[in-house]
Structure 1
Amino acid sequence: MTSELRTQRLRIREWAPDDAPAALRIYGVEKVAARLTPEMSTVGDEEAMRSVLQAWIEAQPNLVTPAGRWAVVRESDGEVIGGLALRQLPPYEEDFELSWHLRPDAWGSGYASEAARALAGWAFEQGLEELFAVARPDNERAAATARRIGMEWVGETDKYYGATLQVFRMRPSDLEGAVPAGFTEN
């Protein structure tokens, strides 16, 4: 994504190294990290977070479109409140995963659904025919968000990440009418 995506309340943009303190309030929190894919754990400090962000930033140009990682910024105060990712799922890198991560004080406000719908819409405009979300079986919050954005539960598998995960799928027709009014690409 060369430009930002905007919704009524959010801006989705590329990460910057200076986002490290805000990103640490997401990826440095155990109750957030415990829900992430098995290959990512809690980030310990700001320096480590800056290194993670730098790796994401450097990898971005080499990823298959529409893959990437982005910051979610609340328009009302300019705060980075979360992150989004579109990535190819292991082990075969055939399926694209849509994931969302918010800092705990932003939970329950509809931000995850709003941001995920916007990014899914953009991904479908890039030619993707389907997106998947995976969640640990006890992650009811992620499952509810997946359903809210129009994804349907398709089963449980240990195909991805070597862990038993719930799988949700979305196709472009599942998104119709779900993108919030006021969504624009700048």
Structure 2
Amino acid sequence: MSVSTCPSEPAEAAEGGLDAIDRAIVLATQSGLPLVPDPWGAVARPLGLTGEVVRARMQRMQESGVIRRIAAVPNHYRLGYVANGMTVWDVDDAHIQRLGREVATIPGVSHCYRRPRHLPEWPYNLFVMLHGKSQAEVERQAEALRERLGEACRDHRILYSSRILKKTGLRLARQPGPPR
């Protein structure tokens, strides 16, 4: 499980939006929640807290914007999905909001974003990440996506990943001393 923090939107607490206990919880979870039946308890025990306290504090931090999301993030490479294509689409602006929402629901789409065009070099305004076990599979997905976009789509490209980058969010530096 992944925990994404966003300290640029501070909560109503001490320095940086986190009190010492919240900071200890973020430090304990920033590499992910443990994959055990009681992840809240597993995080809580070394901190001298209860699982309920950790869950409630993380929920509060999420509601205040300190934590953006708590989600499962599978390693698609280990699952055999080694062809990763960022597809970029030139979609008619009059239809992009509706079509973007539709595209985001398609199985196999892990990311779907509207981005500004940079004309004349870059006419693409819809970015959609597709994953497959081969480039041919990604190309089939892109063709199905092209059909779904219909007349609103003028052009597209597939940009394949050439290497795996480290995928981590923001990390807090550890500070000496116990949480209190």
TM-score, with length taken from structure 2: 0.28
More strand by share: 1
Report which of the two structures shows the higher radius of gyration computed on alpha carbons: 2
